[in-house]
Every structure is written in C-alpha cells, then in structure tokens.
Amino acid sequence: MSSLSQTMPIIGATDFHTLSRLTLVALTNDFDVGPDLSEKLENSWVLADEQVSLDTVCLGSTVSYDVEGQQRQVTLVLPNEVLADAGRLSVLTPVGVALLGLKPGQRGEWNSRDGHRHQLTVVRVGRAGERRAAAEAFSHL
C-alpha cells in the first residue's frame, strides 16, 4: 500500500452508499456539515466491506480519540440512531465527519461553529455488529 493510500480515509462500499444518500439529504436541507461529508467521500478510498480493516472508523465503530490532551470515546452512528445516548455521535457532525475512515494514529480536523480549527487523533477503534444492519435500514429511506 502506498503512503498516499495510508493517509486517505478508507470507507467500505456499504457505508459509502449509505453516506452518499445521507450527503444528498444534508446538502438539500442545508446542514452545515453536508459539504464536508461530500468532500470526505470524494477523497476516500472505497473498498469492499470485507477489505476494510477492523481498526478503520466506520458506521457503528466505537472510537477513542484525543483532542487537546483529553481522550473521548463515542460510537459513530447515523443521525436517527443518536437518541439521547451521549455515547453516540452522529456522522452528520463535524467531529463525526473528521473521524470517518481514519485508523489509530491518524489525525482528523474540523471547524467549530465559532470558526476555530480543531484536531483529533484516533487512539483506538472497535466495531459493533450492528453496523451493517443500521446501514441497510437507512438505505431503504
């Protein structure tokens, strides 16, 4: 694998399909993060789901990441899966887009609403078994 492919985000085909549809919804409804998600998808390697390593952040992944010395842990989910659970982060948030497709040791950036640029570093990634079921449920919308 070249160094270029190691730095580009990696997204599985099922997530890519789901997120492409979600991007259209986000852009149509003027979500601030729509253009960022669209750019992330355009600049990612799309692989067959079984080729995506288990330590790659995807929908349903539980991710530990570091922001300015503080470690946080979230599960990356679709917007309709957030509910009131503070441990679930929508992929339609700036941090959610920044995390998508990264592996431990890789960095992501996002702009906060006040315009400040922030950086995070992925520490650890785990996968939940519900990822594919959630993506398939959303794809029927």
pLDDT value at residue 129:
55
Residue 117 has pLDDT above 90, yes or no: yes
- Domain spans in the chain, listed from the N-terminal domain onward: 3-139
Residue 126 has pLDDT above 70, yes or no: yes
Q: Does domain 3-139 have CATH number 2.130.10.10?
A: no
Q: Which residue in 52, 65, 70, 67 sits closest to 105, CA to CA?
A: 65
Strands 70-77 and 88-90: parallel
Residue 62 has pLDDT above 70, yes or no: yes
Residue 136 has pLDDT above 80, yes or no: no
pTM, rounded to two decimals? 0.84
Q: What is the pLDDT of residues 7-55, one digit of tens each?
A: 789 999 999 999 999 999 999 888 889 999 999 999 999 999 999 999 9
DSSP states of 102-126 as a string? Answer: --TT-EEEEE-TTS-EEEEEEEEEE
Across 92-110, average pLDDT: 96
Residue 131 has pLDDT above 80, yes or no: no
pLDDT band at 109 (very low <50, low <70, confident <90, very high): very high
